[in-house]
Structure 1
Amino acid sequence: MQVSEHSDALDLEPGIFKRTDPTEIAASLKRSAEHSRRRKGTAFQSAMSMLNFYINRAGRNLPKTQLDTLQRAKGKLREAFGRAA
């Protein structure tokens, strides 16, 4: 998708948002955010922002199962950064 290909926020692994395991998605976003030199906020903020950005831009075109997976990835991302709510 053009959103993830042309964003300057993070260097993402190819196909990250198409994965079916929310834990994998969260782990990949965490790795990308921690290794990025272009982020403006914390690694957590950058990773969560990228996930929300993708959901907001692609949301209407995503199958419900994939949207649910991405929503669950938010919780896994919070856990990965020790910010479980």
Structure 2
Amino acid sequence: MTNKRKNWSQQVTGNSSALELEDGVFTLGSARKIAESLKRSADQAKPDANAAYRSAMSMLTFYINRAGKKLPDDERQKLETAKDELRRLYDRPARKR
């Protein structure tokens, strides 16, 4: 399998035409910073707040899913918390647990 084909998910998160992501967005120090960065990127790309929210949440979920079992538990928890922060930033209802 070629490197191009093996690393398609890295290309999506790094070069997505949907959002211009800040370098290292998913490794920022806090869930709040990750959510704020995703919101900035989504708001710049999508003038409609609903579309911006969906794009930001989709990119975050995509990253978590692609990392799979290789994502350490503490990082996964930070990214799941970033989802909650993103919901707050867009005034969306909290996730039911």
* AA aligned opposite 1:10: L
- 1:61 matched to 2:82? The reply is no
CA distance in 2, matches of 1:73, 1:48: 9
RMSD: 1.8
- 1:84 matched to 2:97? The reply is no
Q: Which has the higher contact order (CA 8 A, sep 6+)?
A: 1
Matched pairs, number? 83
2:23 to 7, 14, 19: 14
Mind listing any 5+ residue stretches in structure 2 that lack a counterpart? Answer: 1-8
CA deviations over 1:3-56 (Å, ceiling 9, x no partner) = 41133221100000012300000000000000015x9x6110000000001111
Q: Secondary structure at the match of 2:29?
A: coil
Mind listing any 5+ residue stretches in structure 1 that lack a counterpart? Answer: none
Task: Quote the offset at 1:59 in angstroms.
Answer: 2.5
* AA aligned opposite 2:22: E
Indicate the structure (1 or 2) with the bigger Cα radius of gyration.
2
Give the percent of matched residue pairs that are identical in Structure 1 and Structure 2: 48
What TM-score comes out, normalization by structure 2 length? Answer: 0.77
